[in-house]
Amino acid sequence: MPTSRSLRRGLRALLLAAGLGVLFYATTRNKRVSPPVFEATLLERGEGGRIRALRAGAGDTTLVFLHGYGESLLAWQGVVGHFVDHYRVLAVDLPGFGLSDPLPDSSTFGAYLAEIGDLIRLQTRGPVVVVGHSMGGQLAAGLALADPDRVVAAVLVAPAGAGLNGVFGDSGMVSPWAHWVAEAVPYVLPIHDTLWLREPAGPPELEAVRDSLLAASARRVLEQFDFAAIGDRFRQVGQPVLLIWGSQDATIPLAVGERVAALLPCRRFVVLPALHRPHQTSPDTVLREMDAFLRRSLPCDQG
């Protein structure tokens, strides 16, 4: 029989899933003013399959945006347009989410890291700043560790990598209740916004089977992806890091963020009155922090 604690956690997971769609629209569409219209493209992967990407902007440095579990590049639609005048921007649907095909063999942290690392090497030139949220934040930190010559800085918004200890379970493991969320993901979060992103033409049969593919991919990620895979190696991230956390985050609580901040040797730690997605609920504040971080020649802040 489930314990009262597990029942409470399950209820919180269900409420999280039910509220994601409402949160998405309420916190991105309403805060955009005259949004630019971008065009998506489908990038071919080396071993087959495609990744949906948004490529825009100009500049010597590329900002690479990586969304969280169950979302798509639309998670950044209140943010990316701000940077296209001074930076190149690459935002992607992680494999198995949005319109990107799942990874062919496994959904481990290492497999995702290798896939996104190859994509960055093929699609960017010059310095890279990785910007990631939750699962995407863990991948961003992993990229900073794996390629310190190319990745010159990181913006991590409530990253996984040091455990969860929230709605999805303890440490790096996810609770059985999280699989209910995985089932709901394809039906809750939008992956199209025709006012913001012009989609590439694609075979209609792919759209017809997308929901079942996404649900299966979301379940496989929960089974295989280690959300605590970085752990103490956060202390080895030598690049400047802007770390942003919501004080009311129930998915990866602030206590985890405080542990990550204590490990990072060169970071600015910003706590906002928000839940798990401050870049969606407080985009103006996040943009101000990112602007200041990217402009500073010595962005370390140990205070």
Whole-angstrom Cα Rg for the chain: 18
Q: Helix, strand or coil for residue 184?
A: helix
* CB contact at 8 A, 138 and 160: yes
Please compute the mean of the pLDDT values over residues 102-127 and round it to a whole number: 94
Pairing state between β 88-92 and 128-133: unpaired
* CB contact at 8 A, 85 and 65: no
Residue 48: predicted pLDDT? 72
Please compute the mean of the pLDDT values over residues 50-67 and round it to a whole number: 96
% pLDDT > 70, the chain? 73
Residue 297: predicted pLDDT? 53
Q: What is the pLDDT of residues 119-167, one digit of tens each?
A: 999 999 999 999 999 999 999 999 999 999 999 999 999 999 998 775 5
The number of helices, as runs of H, and strands, as runs of E, in the chain is 8, 9
Please compute the mean of the pLDDT values over residues 59-63 and round it to a whole number: 96
Please compute the mean of the pLDDT values over residues 255-275 and round it to a whole number: 97
pTM: 0.85
The whole-angstrom separation of Cα 294 and Cα 183 is 38
CATH class of 4-273: alpha beta
Residue 164: predicted pLDDT? 75
Q: What is the pLDDT of residues 182-194, one digit of tens each?
A: 556 555 677 888 8
**Confidence band of 108 (pLDDT split at 50, 70, 90):** very high
Residue 215: predicted pLDDT? 78
Residue 213: predicted pLDDT? 75
